[in-house]
Amino acid sequence: MAVSKTFSGAAVREAHAAGQRAFGENYVQEALAKMAALADLRASIEWHLIGPLQSNKTREVAAAFDWVHTIDRPKIAERLSAQRPPGLPPLQVCIQVNVSGETSKGGVEPAALATLARQVAALPGLTLRGLMSIPEPTSDPVAQRAPHRELARMLRGLVAEGLAVDTLSMGMSADLEAAIAEGATMVRVGTAIFGARG
Ligand SMILES: *Cc1c(COP(=O)(O)O)cnc(C)c1O
């Protein structure tokens, strides 16, 4: 996934012309403006919300995005499910897990994951696809792998419980190799594609 936050619609259009199809955005208003400017490409773009989501934004997100990676509480999931327009396929979602034990980046605590996953999987407007994490950054490639390995283990735990999940959204520009080595199915890459953010 190409993370296009802060980059222009023209930059997204250029990446699309080169064959990129999945784009990640953090801020709802910025994303909606970009989507409007790129409406002609809608059928061949997958829009992923990868930033925190407040409940007053769920209606717009349910109508405009294909994926949401940052589900961390039942209320947000219930609202997205109820507000997903009937003509669209279910919204594809990942549960964000707080793998590093730091609260600032959001995410459900690992101990509460199984319960939340069952709740989300039962919602008709959503398809639970897997797990997402934003580990504490470290430049040590060995240390980078530990939280990714942990997330992969949690995904296997959900599969063992009978949930049909297949997605590990983990790894960014600085740790995508470590994430892929631990089984990432979707890396979220911004600066390594578009350059440094202003
Ligand atoms: C910005 C962002 C990315 C991309 O980060 P880069 O270091 O630019 O690759 C990935 N995931 C999330 C959740 C982000 O907010």
Whether ligand 1 lies within 6 angstroms of the CB of 3 is answered as yes
pLDDT at 141: 92
Atom of ligand 1 nearest to the CA of 26: 15
Tell the residue nearest (CA) to atom 7 of ligand 1: 173
Average pLDDT, the chain: 96
Instruction: Look up the pTM and report it.
Output: 0.97
Tens-level pLDDT at each residue, the chain (198 residues): 999 999 999 999 999 999 999 999 999 999 999 999 999 999 999 999 999 999 999 999 999 999 999 999 999 999 999 999 999 999 999 999 999 876 566 899 999 999 999 999 999 999 999 999 999 999 999 999 999 999 999 999 999 999 999 999 999 999 999 999 999 999 999 999 999 997
Please indicate whether residue 148, judged by its CB atom, sits closer than 6 Å to ligand 1.
no
Atom of ligand 1 nearest to the CA of 132: 13
Ligand 1 centroid, distance to 162 Cα (angstroms)? 31
Laid out side by side, the sheet with 91-96 consists of 2-3, 22-25, 46-49, 67-71, 91-96, 126-132, 167-169
Identify the structural domains of the chain with CATH numbers, from first to last.
Answer: 2-194 (3.20.20.10)
DSSP state of 168: E
Tens-place pLDDT, residues 13-70: 999 999 999 999 999 999 999 999 999 999 999 999 999 999 999 999 999 999 999 9
Residue 94 CB less than 6 A away from ligand 1: no
